[in-house]
Chain A
């Protein structure tokens, strides 16, 4: 069966520091991968999604970037965090080219920028 791992679960970082959140999927190949941010009262905002290695679509211009160095690894990064980057970050995967299937979510990372 497939599983998704996302870490760390919580993170407190000072303003201006770098960020790296990692997400890996096991038990499947060539998944679609997604990063979402959930800010208080603002729902789920799609940040990036990827349909393959090195293929990243950015949805919202911002202080963050994403990379997919391996088929089942998706990394969210920032060079310098802002206070506004605080939120709950969720990684998800879905089957490639199976638009009728759902996305499966990790447990999320609570990021607090201080």
Chain B
């Protein structure tokens, strides 16, 4: 069975500080991994995705994520957080059967 774990429920950072959101997965084959962002009361927007090749992937809004197979992780990073980045972030894994499983999300707050 596949699963995604986001160990941090809430994170607060100061504007301009760096950010790392953790994501760990469990899957028996090559994972296809995604990060989404959700503003309050809205649908989800894709930030970036990994399916092969370079393990460091770049996304929109200055985000990047690094796939580490040995650690079963796909952590999301941003060097300098903006107030507009406050939202909820979801890591997701897609299996070969097209089943898409999400983590429980990390809510990010940004201090002025």
Contacts and interface: CB of A to CB of B under 8 A. Distances in A.
Interface of A: 32, 34, 36, 41-46, 49, 51, 57, 88, 90, 92, 94, 96-97, 99-103, 105-108, 110
Contacts of A101: 49
A96 B99 CA distance: 11
Q: How big is chain B's contact interface, by range? A: 20 to 34
Interface in B74-112: 90, 92, 94-105
B11 interface: no
A51 B98 contact: yes
Contacts of B94: 94, 99, 103
B44 interface: yes
Given A94-B98, A107-B42, A108-B41, 20 more contacts: A32-B98, A43-B102, A44-B92, A44-B105, A57-B99, A88-B41, A90-B43, A94-B100, A99-B32, A99-B51, A99-B96, A100-B51, A101-B49, A102-B34, A103-B92, A105-B36, A105-B43, A106-B43, A107-B43, A108-B43
